[in-house]
Amino acid sequence: MNLKSLTAAIVSAFCISLTLSFAQEEPLRFAFLTDLHYSQGGKSVQDLRRCIRDVNALDGLDFVLIGGDLTDFGTDEEIRDVKGMLDSLRTRYYTVAGNHDAKWSESGCNTFKEVFGYERFEFVCKGWRFIGCNCGPDMRMAPALIPQESMEWLKSLPESGKTIFINHYPQDTSVLNYFDVTRELKRIGTRFAIGGHWHRNTVLDYGGIPGVLGRSTLSAGKEPGYTIISIQDDSVTVRERRLNADGPVFEEPWFSKRLLPVEDKVAYDSDGLPSDYPWMRYEVNGLPSPSGKAVKEVWKYKDNSNIVAGFARRGGKAWYTTASGMVRCISLKDGRILWSERFPGKIFSTPAISGRYLVFGCTDGNVYALNPSNGKLRWKHKAQKSIVASPVIRDGKVFIGASDGCFRALDLKSGKPVWEYGDVDGFVECRSYADKEQVVFGTWGNKLYSLDPEDGTLQWVWKCYKPSRMYSPAAVWPVKSGEKIFIAVPDRTLYVLDARTGEELKSFKGSCRESVGISPDGAKVYCKSMFHKISSIDAASLEMDWSVETGAGYDISPTSISRVGEEVLMPTDKGNLLAFAASDGRLLWIHKISVALLNPLEAWADGDGEYILVSSMDGIVTLLRINHL
């Protein structure tokens, strides 16, 4: 080859090399830490500290993603402490909340938002858009549910060719509205989804969207570690970074894939449900009921926010609260909203009404009393922390717990304290039981308290002796019959206590999780298990009247069971309402309202029919009428 030819070949090779280098996408590299489960004084703190130190020693990271369950119990202190640790990262980081941050949150998810400054994020790095949001369930035990506010945010996002979604949960049937989520993700151009929750490296597919779940930062009998994700030329590589005793080790990639555009090929039915939807479908609403009774929707609409509480009702009106801080008054005739008022915090409190006062608690730390006619403020009382509990009004007093270790009796007309009991262990979530003899409530400190309603003096404390706060009589609304208190605990047991002493009289193991109910005359107590059974217990003899299969499948809803006429009403965590005969437990009818957890019901008889006012966590509000034969 002569000099001229050689020169031409060199120039040609250089041009090809230069062209390839420009075609080569600049590599993107980030760390993914998830399921930190920060608990003060626990091993989780040491594990996280080692992971942060190692991340800071790495070069070439563009950012860090945190995949939820930052805390073990969602306390204000845990959230602030873990934020302080994460702030020591050398590179920017973005985080989403997990179920542990939301379900057991003493602030009603307010502190997470205040401390980190957001509940959703969106940013672009090297041509890729990253989006992340919270997962729910907020404050109530149920499968995950992307909150309505986050769904509205997803729907508002424009299409972008290359998007990556971060959420704590896998976007499969672990999430009640998974099909709505993945439909929106495909619309906006999502090519990859990243999550945690399972504490192990896992590869999944969400109707065509490839997804991975990363390991937890916890050592859990092995070594702490986290995930490194690299993207180049539209291809992703996922590796584990394990922090062994003799030094950190990069494991071989456990997932690699070219991230291509995803087309939505899922078939949806007329109700918007996909073919793989595994639970009860809306078609049950059109089937003849076993009893022959006709269940009709008088009206139905969808709020633009999550609803995580029940109703107050009087005359032809009802009032409810939302997780976006709204209080609404509606007409029972047609569901029309008569007035709405917004408050500074999320609201998980079922309102109570008496006379000229509508009362509820708010996560901004206030108990509010409004004029029920127009929503105007009558008074407010400030606690030291958020309020996620629901009030009871009796004898001119408002009884309500809070997250500040205090249970209060407030004067209904002025809001001024009548008395305060300040030695509460754990925060209060429930609505208490109150009569002239006692006020009974549970807490997330494994305890059930009975106080004197006149002066707040302690009558007794019952403790659930379990190794974790998660086995607390806190979500259940206690009921009373005669001289017996009935409560349910997440250890799947219904406990019967002596109302005068708090001593345990009997327990029904495996019969119940966190949901009980009582007949209007107090003669029967109802409970449901996690695994498709509902039971009726004679409150006097403590003998089981009947126990039947529900057909509802696995269910962890804490919503109370109700009774109207001769029908026992069982709400579920997947939007189904079932009715059973009070006499023998026969299934009478089924009605599907939503795909999400049903909140506490309002049920009453009127003329020749019964009415049931019900809402769901994803914002459905409806009035049902059950016609007599």
Percent of the chain with pLDDT over 90: 88
pLDDT tens for each residue of 121-157:
999 999 999 999 999 889 999 999 999 999 999 999 9
Q: Measured between alpha carbons, how far apart are the two ends of the chain, in Å? A: 102
Sign of CA dihedral 518, 352, 307, 315: positive
pLDDT at residue 358 above 90? yes
Which backbone phi and psi does 198 adopt, to 5 degrees? Answer: -90, -10
pLDDT at residue 22 above 80? no
Which uninterrupted H or E stretch holds 553?
A: strand 544-554
Give me the long-range contacts of 456-459 (CB less than 8 A, separation at least 24). Answer: 456/407, 456/409, 456/418, 456/419, 456/420, 456/421, 457/421, 458/421, 458/423, 459/502
* 308-to-331, 366, 390, 429, 596 alpha-carbon distances in Å: 20, 18, 11, 12, 11
Band (629; pLDDT cuts 50, 70, 90): low
The pLDDT value given to residue 628: 64
**Distance between CA atoms of residues 523 and 69, nearest Å:** 43
Average pLDDT for 615-621: 97
pLDDT tens for each residue of 543-574:
999 999 999 999 999 999 999 999 999 999 99
The pLDDT value given to residue 14: 42
The pLDDT value given to residue 470: 87
Average pLDDT for 12-16: 43
The pLDDT value given to residue 439: 98
Mean pLDDT of all residues belonging to the chain: 93
Instruction: Tell me the HSE value of 78 on the side-chain side, using a 13 A CA sphere.
Output: 25
pLDDT tens for each residue of 69-85:
999 999 999 999 999 99
The pLDDT value given to residue 286: 82
pLDDT tens for each residue of 53-63:
999 999 999 99
Helix (H, G, I), strand (E, B), or coil: what is residue 286? helix
The pLDDT value given to residue 465: 85
Tell me how far the alpha carbon of residue 437 is from its chain's centroid.
34
The pLDDT value given to residue 15: 44
Report the candidate in 426, 436, 438, 379 with the shortest Cα–Cα distance to residue 401. Answer: 426
Looking at residue 215, its amino acid is R
Q: Are residues 241 and 229 in contact, defined by beta-carbon separation less than 8 angstroms?
A: no
The pLDDT value given to residue 3: 43
Beta bridge partners of 506: 496
The pLDDT value given to residue 21: 38
The pLDDT value given to residue 6: 43
Q: Are residues 600 and 310 in contact, defined by beta-carbon separation less than 8 angstroms?
A: yes
* 251-to-52, 201, 212, 226, 232 alpha-carbon distances in Å: 18, 12, 16, 11, 19
Average pLDDT for 483-503: 96
pLDDT at residue 312 above 90? yes
pLDDT tens for each residue of 149-199:
999 999 999 998 899 999 999 999 999 999 999 999 999 999 999 999 999
Q: Are residues 443 and 474 in contact, defined by beta-carbon separation less than 8 angstroms?
A: yes
**Distance between CA atoms of residues 133 and 122, nearest Å:** 9
**Distance between CA atoms of residues 364 and 387, nearest Å:** 7
pLDDT at residue 594 above 60? yes
**Distance between CA atoms of residues 411 and 278, nearest Å:** 49
String of DSSP letters for 194-208: EE-SSSS-EEEEETT
